[in-house]
């Protein structure tokens, strides 16, 4: 009997740069941790959140997966920090961000502007200043960011789901048919044209009336909600054990 477990389905696609090809592998790993089985069993991400046990979550994945992949999965399944989700800089951002260069805190003008406004404010005492900073971190987490193609850092952190996985395959299939074997003046030209096609595609309504961007955002929001429910379940179980 074939095991009903998440499996990485690798397929040949054309990419404008080596970096985007490598990033696509991370994107697929992020899809896999959010994949539920056909029986609608919890995903690896949900198991990790509800149990606090990453190894238990990894047991859902086939045993033949290479160690390097498992290490990357452990990183994706680690608990999120309580403050600003700077790990979002190191996530793929899904298909919407597959071809953009990697960003970091040094280039983050949005956070720099938010921080500058916080520093310019008068505060009654150190406690009020600290509380305002913590609130600022949460505001950054939930603010659509141009670095992430309009996704919020929390939406980037959670990764994509099966609908985004299908949309990504659809776009990459089209891109491969259009560009594979086609000469470009430079890698830069190939990258710019790919980004133009991507931004046009993500805004075109599908048969459902929704655009790919709208579908991706809605699904990521649902995944965030699932994560919140899984964490609440873990807290509930722990409180039940702690009660006399």
Average pLDDT, the chain: 90
pLDDT in tens, 57-100: 998 887 788 888 999 999 999 999 999 999 999 999 999 999 99
* pLDDT the model gives residue 143: 96
Nearest one of 36, 49, 58 to 79, comparing CA atoms: 49
Name residue, tokens 């259009």. 178
Question: What is the CB-side half-sphere exposure of residue 111 using CA atoms within 13 A?
Answer: 19
| DSSP symbol at 42 | P
Rounded Cα distance, 243 and 3, in Å:
39
Strand, coil or helix: 102: coil
Q: How confident is the model at residue 4 (pLDDT cuts 50, 70, 90)?
A: very low
**Across the chain, which distance is largest between two alpha carbons, in Å?**
72
Domain ranges of the chain: 18-242
Q: How confident is the model at residue 9 (pLDDT cuts 50, 70, 90)?
A: low
Asked whether 216 and 160 are in contact (CB, 8 A), the reply is: yes
Nearest one of 111, 201, 96, 211 to 156, comparing CA atoms: 96
* pLDDT the model gives residue 192: 94
Count of CB atoms situated within 10 Å of the CB of 40: 7
Q: What Cα–Cα distance (Å) separates residue 126 from each residue in 79, 83, 119?
A: 28, 18, 12
Q: Is the pLDDT of residue 113 over 50?
A: yes
Rg of the chain over Cα atoms, rounded to whole angstroms, equals 20
* pLDDT the model gives residue 62: 79
Q: How confident is the model at residue 235 (pLDDT cuts 50, 70, 90)?
A: low
Q: Is the pLDDT of residue 1 over 50?
A: no
pLDDT in tens, 118-167: 999 999 999 999 999 999 999 999 999 999 999 999 999 999 999 999 99
Q: Is the pLDDT of residue 41 over 60?
A: yes
Q: Is the pLDDT of residue 37 over 90?
A: no
């Amino acid at each position: 009997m074939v095991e009903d477990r998440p499996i990485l389905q690798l397929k040949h696609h054309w990419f404008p740069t080596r970096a985007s090809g490598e990033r696509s592998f991370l994107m697929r790993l992020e899809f896999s941790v959010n994949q539920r089985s056909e029986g609608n069993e919890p995903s690896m991400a949900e198991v990790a959140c509800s149990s606090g046990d990453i190894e238990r979550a990894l047991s859902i994945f086939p045993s033949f997966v290479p160690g390097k992949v498992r290490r990357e999965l452990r990183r994706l399944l680690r608990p999120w920090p309580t403050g600003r989700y700077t790990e979002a800089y190191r996530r793929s951002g899904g298909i919407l961000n597959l071809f953009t260069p990697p960003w970091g805190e040094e280039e983050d003008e949005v956070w720099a502007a938010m921080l500058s406004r916080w520093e310019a404010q008068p505060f009654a005492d150190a406690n009020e200043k600290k509380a305002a900073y913590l609130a600022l971190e949460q505001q950054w987490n939930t603010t659509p960011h141009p670095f992430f193609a309009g996704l919020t850092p929390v939406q980037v952190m959670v990764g994509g789901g099966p609908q985004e996985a299908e949309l990504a395959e659809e776009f990459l299939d089209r891109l491969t048919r259009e560009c594979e074997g086609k000469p470009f003046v430079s890698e830069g030209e190939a990258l710019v044209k790919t980004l133009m096609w991507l931004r046009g595609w993500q805004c075109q309504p599908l048969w459902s009336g929704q655009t790919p961007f709208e579908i991706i955002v809605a699904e990521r929001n649902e995944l965030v909600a699932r994560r919140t429910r899984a964490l609440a379940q873990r807290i509930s179980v722990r409180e039940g054990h702690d009660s006399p």
